Structure 1
């Protein structure tokens, strides 16, 4: 679980995960589009996400496709949030979102 927390600690890696959540099965080239970093940096971040099992890859011919693996994130939720009553946690989250004026969190 340490590798998952370490991977999630970086905002660039979280951005890559968000992009895979929006459109799963992307190549390195498509994930590099719009990122303000080099192709090598994106590849390094993806490697760390793979090591944490947050991203899995499939080869289709010569293309390497990256897919989001939500299982480790769910395991964190079950371990750390599952101890509490979910409806209370959800109510606090909804209140925080409303007070901050955010709908993305």
Structure 2
């Protein structure tokens, strides 16, 4: 989604008649991507920690979470959409 979001910002700047090469105008994109990347990294580290080791409490938590994700309606498709980046599509790609 990085490229799609960058294109979205560049199109917006061009419509506004701004210089799309100016660093100041690209800061919004940069801040947005940093936040998204930090959130994804934190989530992946959490998964890594949850699935590491043989702690019985972690195993129980993993088993419950996976079972809920598999059986609750709508949860698995939403997780898949998030993993594929489809929740953050710019309007012009929907």
Global fold match (TM > 0.5) = no
TM-score for the superposition, normalised by structure 1 = 0.31
Which structure has the higher relative contact order (CA within 8 Å, separation 6+)?
Answer: 2
Which structure's residues are more often helix, by fraction?
Answer: 2
Which structure's residues are more often strand, by fraction?
Answer: 1
TM-score for the superposition, normalised by structure 2 = 0.33
